[in-house]
Amino acid sequence: MKFRLFYFVCSSNCGRNLEGMHYYMRYMLKFASIFGVFPVQGLHNRSLNKLNFSWCSLVTIYSLCLLAGFLTIEIFALDYTIRNLNEDSLTAKGGIKKATSGSIFYGNACIGMILFIRLARQWPQLVRDWKMVELAMSRFGTPRLGWRFSVMSTVLFTLAFLEHGLHNWLNTRPGGRDDITAMSNSPSATATSGGGPVNYSIDNSVSFCVV
């Protein structure tokens, strides 16, 4: 009944009000579906009737394969965190980040994928209900959604690329390596003969002894 009402309302207003939230977001959502984040079919169409979610579609299978891959990597990352989150990593500068960054990053990716797949299941009906609200409130005026979505997308993408670029620069510049990495590769680490204790010196600022 709700779908028939939606179809009647949209048909009666198709000549004067085709633009709306989905119209301005469809290319951004299509970009997300290419990367397997938002598995909804028909996102590039202006018509909301062509939006569909199916567990058997190629885009959904693609998203599930990516999720399975992220979960597999997260298992290995958690194992790495458990094995390396010890006294040495807690003592060395940057050791905690090196031991936990992988599990946090891929754990966040898994949670994000699950949430977006849940949203994709409800998206077709959600935008249809939203369109009915837009049509019912059109007599109060139409907001400038196109300009707002363009500015928001530009700002978010710019900040994302800036953050990623700064992260890579900080980790590749001279002296930007974590001390825990420098500790394992530095020739300044000295060991006493006869199987005695090993004294590590990290950047001449932190030192500890492993027996």
User: Tell me: the pLDDT tens digits for 71-119?
Assistant: 999 999 999 888 887 766 666 556 777 778 889 999 999 999 999 999 9
* 201: helix, strand or coil: strand
Of 14-23, 33-42, 112-121, 142-151, least confident by mean pLDDT is: 14-23
The answer to whether residue 39 is domain-embedded is: yes
Per the domain annotation, does 72 fall within a domain?
yes
The more confidently predicted of residues 47 and 191 is 47
Residue 167 lies in a domain: no
Question: Tokens 């597999």 identify what position?
Answer: 72
- 162 in a domain, yes or no? no
Mean pLDDT of 2-25: 58
Q: For the whole model, what pTM was predicted?
A: 0.68
pLDDT (0 to 100) of residue 202: 38
Q: How many domains does the chain fold into?
A: 1
| Amino acid identity at 187 | P
- CA 134, distance to chain mean position in Å, is 30
Given a cut of 90, whether residue 170 has pLDDT beyond it is: no
Kindly state the tokens that stand for 69. Answer: 């891959």
Q: How confident is the model at residue 62 (pLDDT cuts 50, 70, 90)?
A: very high
**106 assigned to some structural domain:** yes
Report yes or no on 201 lying in a domain. Answer: no
Record the tokens describing residue 15, joined without a space: 């000549």
Is there a domain that residue 59 lies in?
A: yes
Name the percent of the chain in helix, strand, coil, to the closest 5: 65, 5, 25
Which residue range forms the structural domain that includes residue 36? 1-142
Q: What is the pLDDT of residue 106?
A: 93
Task: Give the per-residue pLDDT at 94.
Answer: 64
Query: Is 60 among the domain residues?
Result: yes
Three-state secondary-structure class, residue 208: strand
